[in-house]
Structure 1
């Protein structure tokens, strides 16, 4: 009996109108690890090689990375477990287990009967924990489409008859908020069957001798099902649910309530009598519970560090963490994240830096942290996403801080820049890249204040060498001669380094090129051809909206229900036309924009319900709480919401394309019944062939490190960095092509590549099968990229003025002429300052 398997990809989307991505349930946490076998001598040795947090050592010695590629065995691994005999195990939900007996140097697959049995019944594994003696805990779901359970022993008997292609271990499902598989069958208008989002997980304990015990729980409706499992070195087993109660599983499989916490745990580590707990909503830091004394241990030093450096501690769809903590020698807790690796004696007065995040893969946003263990001899083994295994070894013969320094600046942290810095420093270990975030990690500094501080630094000769110019006064910097001409550097980029020439040429000004984007987005519209084919200017957009409203008396046309949001969205394809060649304001263009944008807004709101508006406002409230900004001011505003469209919440999708998978998703809408007549097209406002540049880079004209800055720029634009971008399509031609090459192991029949599913609070569910981009679709995108020649670079002062005065006009507070005059006056005052 031969079975074909393909994997479905879990996608993180946020559907406006309070539709929620269904992700909770599977892969919720990393694998539990036992303590390392270190001792007091090891602790003393580590203390000799680390410095207090924030106090970089100026002597010799730091950790270096040795990388092993385990992608052959790791599709969705659940961390690293260290057994009491020193062996290491990595268990993967779909690929099975691999074991190392030499501290992670070599790895070999290890067959286990329980995994073979679950594979045979197409079980979806949700969590795995491995104890120090090899005891394994597994939470899995094996519900068939009929809702019936398959007997595990029967599955084991049949397992030998199952052959999987390419060594694949099973089929990945997208999991809903209530824990269901989203199959993406293309239901009419997104109406999903009642079978979606239904999980019936089982918790199984497998002893070292192979004995399998099914754990028994009496759960409430709110707890739903077993969610996460952890095993202590002592052999004690703990299980969490979707509720706040932690259960302990007894030897016979029975369970009893052990501890109730305020919020559901996402991660638990165990050391001796201590249970260390963390979760999303743990606003006061990590919890430490003394299981023997039945009381919490207060550790103010630890929590101050966590809240200062890892305020938002999230776990992502493929089991990666912002902060991963693990135990070491007695009483020691290690904390790993983008800041590096830190060590803390529980109850102690200091946090010690072991590995500097700025000098390691920890700071690379492309490397999701999955798990980490302490080895002997003060060494560490870290598993990152993509099967990247890093062995950290201390080298006393290299400087603790590189001898040369390159300063980089951006207003907000930029993942593309962080990734490039990580690549650059690996290639240039003697250079330390000092990356300054002007507005702070938490946007605690206002933009104007950050820019004033930056300008002061530049005037004092202490400014950065390389700048990310997003949301900065680019025109002013160019006019004042603050940026280096990049023409010579860019002209040397050939072969795999070649860029789209139209993107480069679009930034020629005053005889030079003073900035270049690392990634770009394209404005597109998806909808019925009779409406969207004429959206080639602002009048065409307004005409289409009014025609849509005439044919659809109720509901939203777009997913935006505010004047500011409509203005912001359409400004991206219009604002380049608002300035004259000499830098003045084109009053006619601004007047035309406000006239047409009011038509768009009026058509949108004419049939909008109070419920739609309330939902939109609640989303804005969410953004304010989570990101300290409204949705309209969010960095990712404009992302295209095809799922809301399929679900009937909007009548077209208007926004920006930012990555290959989104392009595949948008093209897949045409395969849904009732959406066959849809087309995906570029959209123009007052400007045509617009593209939205992201991660705009400039080099200081007075930098003393021009050569190093240009080398970092080449890394930013190089193929390695460009293949994996975070907020746009590649401007590197070779990387653009490679980014659209699908992973063969993910491809299903007829190009099926994945599924996404959404549900809302009203019980509406929608799913979509995603088919990978075919050659014809890719050629269209190539053509659109090649024609893009008008960059939308946000002029904050001008756009804010258009927003403020445009709202007054749209609400009837001012006439059109008064609003335009006020805009011109505000911009003139700013320019005079």
Structure 2
């Protein structure tokens, strides 16, 4: 792709420039200068969304601001003006628009017409859409769209069972039926989203969630004039040009509104639902977490204008809602900050010729896999340190075919060659080996200070402590637990006990233990691996007898529980989105639902985050004599998003400052879907929020908070060993490979790696 080629060329030129600027005797004037800088110019106290944006002739930007009704109370709508240059914002409540947001109605979009009138689409409490117009700013009249009535008759049936919609950190579950099944809310009704009023008075209305199309309606009688296919939800209009994504979201499509035909298609890497499309007199621009890029009308080469890595665009909780061009080279980003304090922020991006193109200082972070909490910390750190560039190196993306062992070998080569990163994400790396070889620096003084000042769990901060020295810290953690009847949990002391008691589903018997359908399938070893790896793996030493015992228990558990025929309880799991703008989600297991419905007395699962915790409480808090315990009383936990400072790194002090940011409340307070916070105050805050949101009993924690304080043993997950074990999963479960033979094979296949 031409865009990809341009990136390579740009990267090569940037490298040459950086190398030349670092050479001996280089003058300051030789340094590449000029880049866009970010400035926050306004913050709305409430979470809402800006719409009906219009650039006025004097350079001011007028808009409407629709406040969300987060607590069920009616929202209200403001009109506003952002002055030229962004020096001031003035807002005022619009009564007639606010009336539309009452009585269960939802205002989808607002547009300003060329005649000065204001138009709005809203859906009433029955989910029926309406288009209205106000010419005096006080009263409004409805504009009929005949197609809506026709569609409503043919498509306005009941919701679709089994589907659900996730937005900004929440998922709405329907009531559970008497049979214990869950139906998720869904609807086939018309759901118009974007509204544009053209110069001749016609309307353009998009339907991203019902049909994936954009329709043009006559301003005279509301009749359908044209249809345009779309993918995703982004659409932008400038004069007689419409841009959107094609149906499979692989290209940006430009339509000529006069002819109704496609006038051009543009390729752009990384298109997603979060990709923002904009258009102005100079061409098309695209904004996402990587930054803002432009292309001229009909062009083929994209130019990176704003580096997202140096701005709020790269912060996972900052969801970009709008990007406005004032057509003078200044941009305004409207972000819905979906983090703990949920606000709308307005950012201004201005080109500064006196600012170095690339910051003078670079901090390098290396990790096997991409991590949302690290990205959040990077964004917060960049805000505080705009003259530092963080180079976040991710070795294995989702589509990567490289093995963990190959990556670690390459990393070890870099470390030996003195080309070490400044910080290592320790998840999956051979941490014990790195401690023994002096790769990781002792940060015990820093951790001691932060534990007191930030209110961190002191027990969790000892995850990587060896002989009084601390070589790393987790920033999140997960816990394998038992959930259910206290007496039943007393009877289960080991995985062997659980395997022996597990039985196929029997509707007439409440069993002590039974794995849910989602675990009893081919993924049983994958699901339970982390829970028991400490039993047989210590550092790089494998205890063959204990590994054989573990694989025997897994094989027995699989054989005893698998014959349920898909009727034993909740099948699968639900992904509940976090507060991240990129849709990162937390996998919530379903086993606690079986406990709550009296189908089984105990369940083994992992608390992956606050959403999992909330789901467990929702299902079992009304059951008598239940609790949450550490799995088999081992008080184990899995460190997540763990980080260590590299002893040979060039930015030691800066690396420690990043660790401070990572463990600060600014990051820990955010629900990012990748584990529980290691900050005790953040944990309590998040726990209380879930209790409130789910309308659960206040002050009842079923022993969870005490459990967090009593965790003592970190679970060390070596990804190379794990890959080797799971490669044999199917043969082990099906019995074609005996546990003892599998153990010998695992030891043999990892021997070279473990000896290095």
Give the structure-1-normalised TM-score: 0.72
Alpha-carbon offset, residue 494 of structure 1: 4.7
Mind listing any 5+ residue stretches in structure 1 that lack a counterpart? 1-50, 158-173, 200-222, 315-320, 621-634, 744-750, 754-769
Give the paired residue count: 676
Q: Distance in 1 between matches of 2:165 and 2:467?
A: 57
Q: Distance in 1 between matches of 2:422 and 2:314?
A: 20
Find the counterpart in structure 1 of residue 336 from structure 2: 385
* 3-state secondary structure, aligned to 1:573: helix
1:358–1:666 distance in 2 versus 1, CA, 3 Å: same
Alpha-carbon offset, residue 538 of structure 1: 1.0
Find the counterpart in structure 2 of residue 270 from structure 1: 237
Residue 102 (1) aligns with residue 102 (2): no
CA contact (8 A) 1:82 1:373 kept: no
CA RMSD after TM alignment: 4.0
1:511–1:192 distance in 2 versus 1, CA, 3 Å: closer
* 3-state secondary structure, aligned to 1:251: coil
Alpha-carbon offset, residue 830 of structure 1: 3.4
Alpha-carbon offset, residue 291 of structure 1: 2.2
Q: More strand per residue: 1 or 2? A: 2
Residue 711 (1) aligns with residue 693 (2): no
* 3-state secondary structure, aligned to 2:750: helix
CA deviation vs aligned residue, 1:720-773 (integer Å, no higher than 9, x gap):
111115211111233333334539xxxxxxx752xxxxxxxxxxxxxxxx2257
Q: Distance in 2 between matches of 1:149 and 1:480?
A: 66
- Which of 356, 359, 366 is the aligned partner of 1:402? 359
Q: Distance in 1 between matches of 2:79 and 2:604?
A: 46
Find the counterpart in structure 2 of residue 729 from structure 1: 676
1:446–1:494 distance in 2 versus 1, CA, 3 Å: closer
Alpha-carbon offset, residue 695 of structure 1: 0.8
1:821–1:658 distance in 2 versus 1, CA, 3 Å: closer
CA contact (8 A) 2:112 2:118 kept: yes
Find the counterpart in structure 2 of residue 578 from structure 1: 536
- Which of 303, 308, 315 is the aligned partner of 1:364? 315
1:648–1:332 distance in 2 versus 1, CA, 3 Å: farther
CA deviation vs aligned residue, 1:154-194 (integer Å, no higher than 9, x gap):
xx99xxxxxxxxxxxxxxxx99959999685565455679x
* 3-state secondary structure, aligned to 2:720: helix
Q: Distance in 2 between matches of 1:148 and 1:374?
A: 34
1:827–1:412 distance in 2 versus 1, CA, 3 Å: closer
Mind listing any 5+ residue stretches in structure 2 that lack a counterpart? 1-8, 18-30, 69-74, 140-158, 338-343, 576-583
CA deviation vs aligned residue, 1:286-344 (integer Å, no higher than 9, x gap):
11112224332334xx41xx22xx14x02xxxxxx2x112112x241111111111121
* 3-state secondary structure, aligned to 1:517: coil
* 3-state secondary structure, aligned to 2:104: coil
Find the counterpart in structure 2 of residue 659 from structure 1: 609
CA contact (8 A) 2:479 2:636 kept: yes
Find the counterpart in structure 1 of residue 560 from structure 2: 603
- Which of 475, 486, 489 is the aligned partner of 1:518? 475
1:232–1:149 distance in 2 versus 1, CA, 3 Å: closer
Find the counterpart in structure 2 of residue 35 from structure 1: none
Per chain length, whose mean CA-contact separation is higher, i.e. which structure has more relative contact order (CA < 8 Å, sep 6+)? 1
Find the counterpart in structure 1 of residue 619 from structure 2: 669
Q: Distance in 1 between matches of 2:743 and 2:661?
A: 44
Find the counterpart in structure 2 of residue 228 from structure 1: 193
1:286–1:148 distance in 2 versus 1, CA, 3 Å: closer
Alpha-carbon offset, residue 793 of structure 1: 2.2
Q: Distance in 2 between matches of 1:280 and 1:529?
A: 53
Q: Distance in 2 between matches of 1:678 and 1:336?
A: 53
Find the counterpart in structure 2 of residue 811 from structure 1: 734
Find the counterpart in structure 1 of residue 527 from structure 2: 569
- Which of 71, 81, 101 is the aligned partner of 1:119? 101
Bigger mean CA offset, 134-143 vs 288-297 = 134-143
1:65–1:553 distance in 2 versus 1, CA, 3 Å: same
* 3-state secondary structure, aligned to 1:776: coil
* 3-state secondary structure, aligned to 2:192: strand
Q: Distance in 2 between matches of 1:113 and 1:528?
A: 54
1:249–1:647 distance in 2 versus 1, CA, 3 Å: farther
CA contact (8 A) 2:276 2:288 kept: yes
- Which of 143, 168, 172 is the aligned partner of 2:125? 143
CA deviation vs aligned residue, 1:342-394 (integer Å, no higher than 9, x gap):
12112224322221111111111121111110126422111111312212233
- Which of 226, 229, 236 is the aligned partner of 1:258? 226
Q: Distance in 2 between matches of 1:509 and 1:59?
A: 45
CA contact (8 A) 2:323 2:332 kept: yes
Alpha-carbon offset, residue 647 of structure 1: 11
Give the structure-2-normalised TM-score: 0.79
Q: Distance in 1 between matches of 2:12 and 2:699?
A: 51
Find the counterpart in structure 1 of residue 721 from structure 2: 798
- Which of 437, 440, 447 is the aligned partner of 2:394? 437
* 3-state secondary structure, aligned to 1:416: helix
Q: Distance in 2 between matches of 1:53 and 1:95?
A: 47
* 3-state secondary structure, aligned to 2:318: coil
CA contact (8 A) 1:70 1:389 kept: yes
1:571–1:650 distance in 2 versus 1, CA, 3 Å: farther
Residue 693 (1) aligns with residue 639 (2): yes
